[in-house]
Amino acid sequence: MPRSTRLAAALVAALATAAALASAAPAGVAFAGPSGAGAATQKQVVQLGDSYSAGNGTGSYEERSCYRSPRNYGSQVAASIGAAYVDRACSGGVVADILNPRDLGDAFTKSATYSVDPATYPDQQAEWFRRAQTERLCGVPAQPDFSYRYTFVAGAGVGSLYTGTVSCQLVVRPQIDAVTSSTDLVFLTMGGNDLGFSTIVTNCLIVRDPSSCRDTLESARAKAPSMMDRAKDALRAVEARSGGRAEIYLLSYPYLVNTESYGIPEAAPTYDAGAALNELQRYGDELQARGIAELNAEPGADRYHFVGTVKQTWGGHVHGLDPHVVADNSNAWLVPVGTPGRDVAEFVHPTQPGWDATAGALRTAVTG
């Protein structure tokens, strides 16, 4: 199998996943902020969104399911203004994940044998299943909003010994659950995965097939208006969950390539993938800016902000990826596909200088 095809398959598989179910705290429980002196005045920041908010590419992670990083842009800005910070962004996230729980990764099975006296527990299966959950047979979730969904698969008893198997699915709670009436600021990026980010990267930057690239970009453009409608609904819900308190900052994405024009296939170009990709990214910014303006035009609404300066703080195209087969990515602030020592989920995501630049754009928007 050609190297480009192997990378394409790996990228599609990894960029479309992310990992982990549920929460140590039950639904509806507020995430605690600081207490004591100064707690009343300390700002409360919540980070939502996808991999361009979670931290993919920083190289430093709390876990490698959602790829949340203490060095992402939201954490940096929260620290610079002395705010408490909660990160609920997640790699692979789509707009629907703001409002709904999400399965992370594939389910796996775990088996165990417990002593379950049938005289005491006539329904041995039910008692075994209760004990499996109590003893956390599937494991301990890595984040407070992760949990496992247990599904009984099979079991059999021999006397007082019962052996059973469960399917374990890691799930993450709806991101909005982190927003409370104490939330002052919400930061997020969203929409890229709804439009097929990983497929765009695969077809336009790895396989470089002109027909597939064109179809993917045209499909993304067609999906963009309905994506923005869903995004507006999600942002309204976030604002309502905060009781009208939170200032909501939606950030744009950086340019993915370092050139305005790039023809594919490279040897005999028939399609300008660079021009089409850049046009799609600008169109996305226009839709998001318009959507934010429409939200602010609604009665009583004036707390929505679009941070469209991310591309400028990245120097325009300067720090995008070189799309050529033989590439010079010495100036890139995105992780090139195939970089040794990097996870596939980090490919085409900001390196630390990129995260720092995005933090700069947001910091100016928040404090300026």
Residue-wise pLDDT for 333-353, tens only, equals 999 999 999 999 999 999 999
Q: What is the mean pLDDT of residues 136-148?
A: 97
- Whether residue 28 is predicted with pLDDT greater than 60 in this model: the reply is no
Range of 129's domain? 103-172
Same domain, residue pair 234 and 334: yes
Confidence of residue 40 (pLDDT cuts 50, 70, 90): low
Same domain, residue pair 234 and 307: yes
pLDDT tens digits along 212-238: 999 999 999 999 999 999 999 999 999
Domain ends where: 118, 142, 172?
Answer: 172
pLDDT tens digits along 246-269: 999 999 999 999 999 999 999 999
54 vs 27, residue with greater confidence = 54
Which of 38-47, 120-129, 211-220, 316-325 is predicted with the least confidence, judged by mean pLDDT? Answer: 38-47
Instruction: Give me the numbers of helices (H) and strands (E) for the chain, helices first please.
Output: 9, 11
Q: What is the pLDDT of residue 41?
A: 85
Q: What does pTM read for this prediction?
A: 0.88
Domain ends where: 146, 172, 198?
Answer: 172
What percent of the chain has pLDDT above 90? Answer: 88
CATH number of the domain within which 141 lies = 3.10.28
CATH number of the domain within which 297 lies = 3.40.50.1110
Nearest C-alpha neighbor of 309 from the set 348, 259, 358? 358
Q: What is the pLDDT of residue 26?
A: 32
Q: What is the pLDDT of residue 30?
A: 33
Q: What is the pLDDT of residue 18?
A: 36
Same domain, residue pair 254 and 110: no
The set of long-range contacts for 292-295, using a CB threshold of 8 Å and a minimum separation of 24, is: 292/250, 294/232, 295/232, 295/235, 295/236
- Whether residue 81 is predicted with pLDDT greater than 50 in this model: the reply is yes
> What distance in Å separates the CA atoms of residue 281 and residue 159, rounded to the nearest whole number?
64
pLDDT tens digits along 104-135: 999 999 999 999 999 999 999 999 999 999 99
Same domain, residue pair 356 and 273: yes
Q: Alpha-carbon torsion 120, 123, 129, 134, what sign?
A: negative
Same domain, residue pair 293 and 195: yes
- Whether residue 14 is predicted with pLDDT greater than 70 in this model: the reply is no
Domain ends where: 116, 145, 172?
Answer: 172
Residue 121, SS3 per DSSP? coil
Q: What is the mean pLDDT of residues 56-77?
A: 98
144 vs 20, residue with greater confidence = 144
The domain total for the chain is 2
Confidence of residue 5 (pLDDT cuts 50, 70, 90): very low
What percent of the chain has pLDDT above 70? Answer: 89
Question: DSSP characters for 247-266?
Answer: EEEEEPPPPSBS-S--EEST
Q: What is the pLDDT of residue 7?
A: 43
Q: What is the pLDDT of residue 368?
A: 84
